[in-house]
Chains A and B, each alone.
Chain A
Amino acid sequence: MRDKYKRIPVPVRYLINAVLCALFLVIVQSLISGGAISRYQSGILAQIGVYIIMAVSLNIATGYLGQLPLGHAGFMSIGGYSCAIFMMRLSDKLGVETADLLVPGLIFGGCVAALFGLIIGIPALRLKGDYLAIVTLGFAEIIRVFMLNIDSLLGFKFTGGAGGLTGIPRYSNFLNVFITVILVCFFIHTMMKSRHGRAILAIRDNEIAAEASGVNVSYYKTLAFVISAFFAGIGGGLHAGNIGVMDPTKFGFMESIEILVMVVLGGMGSMLGSISAATVITIVNQALTSLSEYRMVIYALLLIVVMMFRPKGLFGTYDFSLNHVMERLLNRDFPKRMNRGAKK
């Protein structure tokens, strides 16, 4: 009899991944402080990180849950405004540096977005059909109108109205954005491997069968949607600190669609897909700002063509796992099509 299929124990796997992530952060950070990556480029890097968070968070609702929220930019806007306003007000009150309040600020922004996700998720997700799409779309529109006009109704400066919220300290940089990216991806990954994640996937694959097997469909749908909104809020908070201005008109339908394009193109249900599509599209957007009209038409055509010929997106549901690659290398002599863990 042959040897057993060699496995890498779980703590070692996590250790390897953590070391690799830390190595990536240290290398890029030293390149930035060494001047090899300019200020402008590191700003774009942070932008990429923000969009990775947006794409992987939308991927929870679209890829894993199989719903179609069209107001992801609305959650980004809520998170951004609440995080920025919270940090600016609190740093004035307490007299501390704004950057020191980053963690509570981001959590606050995420929680506010999650609260709104809960408020609209409960009625919309109870129903079968495409109501979530239209409700989230309408919700993002309400948020946009609210951010634009609340100042004149309140009578004092709160969101900055049409001029936007200006003077936000630039508290985001490459390091804190990418640490957040890694934490968010880690959380989503472990969640999807847990029984809660399996329940969410079961709902995507067959709602009726999942319900018959004892999955609380409404609860898990709402849970996935709220988590998606929470991370979108965090992404918005980092975005506010990266750009320094919150402009309410930016977070319209177009922005939601752009995030959706990232998820659909990369592959619904694949974190690798979302991350790579978010990276590529953000870079392309930066490179082609002069051709923005053509860009939008191309995105629209891409959506249609991808849906027709490769409905699962570029990567499908495939996800890269370093562990699988390493185990494959460790067991080179093992027959390739051997049914692992099967009977003798």
Chain B
Amino acid sequence: MIFFQQLLNGLQLGSIYALVALGYTMVYGIILLLNFAHGDIIMVGAYVSWAVMTRLQLGPVTAVFASILLCTLLGVIIEKVAYAPLRSAPRLSLLITAIGVSYFLENGAQLIFGADGKNMTAIFSIPNLTIGSLTLSSTALVTLAVTILAMMGLLVLVHKTKMGKAMRAVSEDMGAAQLMGISVNATISFTFAIGSLLAGIGSVLYSNIYQMATPTMGSMLGLKAFVAAVLGGIGSIPGAMIGGFAVGFIEIFVSAIKIGQQSLSVWRDAVVFAILIIVLVVKPTGIMGHKVREKV
């Protein structure tokens, strides 16, 4: 019984990692940027949920839409203001800018809202499902269902629509795509919008589970989601899903292990990063990734 519940917990946590990992993988796939600010977009989304529900008392539906919309907007604004002027700059400059943006969002939130966490009520609450002696958390089921739907939507978008074709073309060869009449800037902005939209959904699901917003919540979440993206194979959408669930499971099971009297839960972050290092040694392309040949 406990095993099933832990399995469901793993799926729930893994769903959120997968949603965030998708944003990383899409942005990395298109402009080869490790977008450090991606995790912090989730933090902003959580604060928006808190502000709408607790401060403005506007109800959960508004909160969901407001935080998803604002996350999407924020992602596009970050791209336009901070990353677009550096499109031809060296990769190192872009990466440092991304760190600057992430650091700015975290410390800005700390300045405005204070370092202590903000508690909120659950956004939606449905009674738990009971099958025989097994109680399934409905939050976990909703999280899982929303994640799977979002991913299916994303796959359709990338593989069946014109915009998706443009995204794949830009990620393959930016110069050639431009020559074929694809607006590279619009496509990159669109990619950021979709990635941030998924982060917004992730943020709603996350604040529904943990019901708390802190300025630094995004950084660790984002880093682990990046580990998930690397584990699955960076640039690959199914890879991000698999990697996300894998990291979720690993974390839940490490927390559940006990040596003598001690729980190993304090070590779970260390284990996740150790896995990243092992993956990079054994199979740097990840589970679903493919090798990219370097051209001079």
Contacts and interface: CB of A to CB of B under 8 A. Distances in A.
Interface of A: 62, 66, 68, 70, 120, 123-124, 126-131, 133-135, 137-139, 141-142, 145-146, 148-149, 152-153, 208, 253, 257, 260, 264, 268, 293-294, 296-297, 299-304, 307-308, 311
Contact of A145 (B101, B270, B276): B270
A208 B296 contact: yes
Contacts of A260: 96, 99
Given A141-B223, A297-B104, 18 more contacts: A68-B92, A130-B34, A131-B280, A134-B223, A135-B276, A138-B227, A138-B272, A139-B273, A145-B267, A145-B270, A208-B294, A260-B96, A293-B111, A297-B107, A300-B101, A300-B107, A303-B96, A304-B104
B230 interface: yes
Contacts of A308: 82, 85-86, 97
A112 B97 CA distance: 32
A141 B273 contact: yes
B186 interface: no
Given A138-B277, A293-B110, A293-B111, A70 B99 contact: yes
Interface in B12-54: 32, 34
Interface residues of B, number: 44
Nearest to B219: A253
Q: Which 9 A-B pairs have the closest CB atoms?
A: A138-B273, A303-B100, A300-B104, A300-B103, A296-B107, A304-B100, A123-B281, A145-B270, A142-B270
A138 B95 contact: no
Interface in B234-284: 259, 262, 266-267, 269-270, 272-274, 276-277, 280-281, 284
Given A134-B226, A303-B100, A307-B96, A139 B277 contact: yes
Given A123-B277, A304-B82, A257 B99 contact: yes
Contact of A307 (B86, B227, B280): B86
B127 interface: no
A70 B98 CA distance: 13
B223 A138 contact: yes
A133 B269 contact: no
Contacts of A139: 273, 277
A311 B82 CA distance: 13
B97 A307 contact: yes
A142 B107 contact: no
23 contacts: A62-B92, A66-B92, A123-B281, A124-B277, A129-B32, A134-B223, A134-B226, A138-B277, A142-B270, A146-B270, A153-B262, A208-B294, A253-B219, A257-B103, A297-B104, A297-B107, A297-B108, A300-B104, A303-B100, A304-B82, A304-B101, A307-B96, A311-B93
B90 interface: yes
B290 interface: no
Nearest to B275: A138
Nearest to A122: B281
Contact of B89 (A146, A296, A302, A311): A311
A145 B273 CA distance: 11
A152 B266 CA distance: 11
Contacts of B159: none
A36 B197 CA distance: 60
Given A308-B86, A311-B89, A135 B100 contact: no
A192 to B, nearest CB: 18
B111 A294 contact: yes
B165 interface: no
Nearest to A297: B107
A131 B91 CA distance: 13
A66 B94 CA distance: 13
A326 B144 CA distance: 71
Given A120-B277, A134-B34, A304-B82, A311 B90 contact: yes
A321 B272 CA distance: 46
Nearest to B82: A304
Given A70-B99, A308-B97, A148 B266 contact: yes
B99 A303 contact: yes
Nearest to A120: B277
Contacts of A126: 284
A127 B294 CA distance: 12
Contacts of A304: 82, 97, 100-101, 104
A304 B89 CA distance: 13
B223 A264 contact: no
Nearest to A305: B100
A133 B104 contact: no
A296 B267 CA distance: 29
Given A70-B99, A145-B269, A146-B270, A127 B280 contact: yes
Contacts of A131: 230, 280, 284
Nearest to A304: B100
Given A137-B223, A139-B277, A264 B104 contact: no
A28 B267 CA distance: 46
Interface string B92-129: 11111101110110011011000000000000000000
Nearest to B85: A308
B270 A141 contact: yes
Contacts of A128: 294
Nearest to A308: B85
A303 B103 contact: yes
B280 A149 contact: no
Nearest to A153: B262
A68 B107 contact: no
Contacts of A146: 270
Contacts of A301: 100, 104
A297 B102 CA distance: 10
Given A297-B108, A301-B104, A141 B269 contact: yes
Interface in B46-74: none
B54 to A, nearest CB: 23
